[in-house]
Amino acid sequence: MADKAKILVVEDEEILLAALKEELLTGGYEVDGAMDGLQGLEKVKSFKPDLVLLDLLMPKMDGMEMLQKLKGDSETRDVPVVILTNLSDYERISEALSLGAMDYLVKANYKLEDLLDKVRMVLARKQ
């Protein structure tokens, strides 16, 4: 890979955001973070990520709304989104997938390898 792929993490839990960012950095990606949907949307435009990791439950604008906005905008429609979620959210997961999210990652107990695998896969599929 000539250029480092850019990943945006949108997650309101500060420590989780820090962990994910660091892990993705370690995985060799260029990373930025946002703590709510509004900030996330701005960052998608300014940072132009190749992939968005998106939490669903967030203040100001939740993940589902942000996903809808992303998919409704021709400029950002094609950015692949992976949902960050909790185990019990199957209903939301399927809703998010139907809205155009590519995959999901269960936050509780995720392993570093799972995260990097998933990111690699989605980026490969995009190309």
Q: Which residues bind other proteins (CB under 8 A)?
A: 13-20, 22-23, 26, 36, 57, 59-60, 86, 88, 107-110, 112
**Closer CB to other proteins, 26 or 94, in the complex:** 26
Report whether 62 contacts 96 (CB < 8 A).
no
Which is nearer to other proteins, 8 or 85 (by Cβ)?
85
Q: How far is the CB of 59 from other proteins (least distance, A)?
A: 4
Q: How far is the CB of 72 from other proteins (least distance, A)?
A: 23
Shortest Cβ distance from residue 60 to other proteins (Å)? 6
Which long-range contacts (C-beta less than 8 Å, at least 24 apart) are formed by 84-88? 84/11, 84/53, 84/54, 84/55, 84/56, 85/55, 85/56
Q: Could you tell me the smallest distance in angstroms from the CB atom of residue 62 to other proteins?
A: 8
CA dist 86 and 90 (Å) reads 9
Closest to other proteins by CB, 107 vs 118, is 107
CA dist., res. 8 & res. 34, Å (int): 8
Nearer to other proteins, 5 or 85 (CB): 85
Query: With left for phi above 0 and alpha for psi between -120 and 50, is residue 100 left, alpha or beta?
Result: left
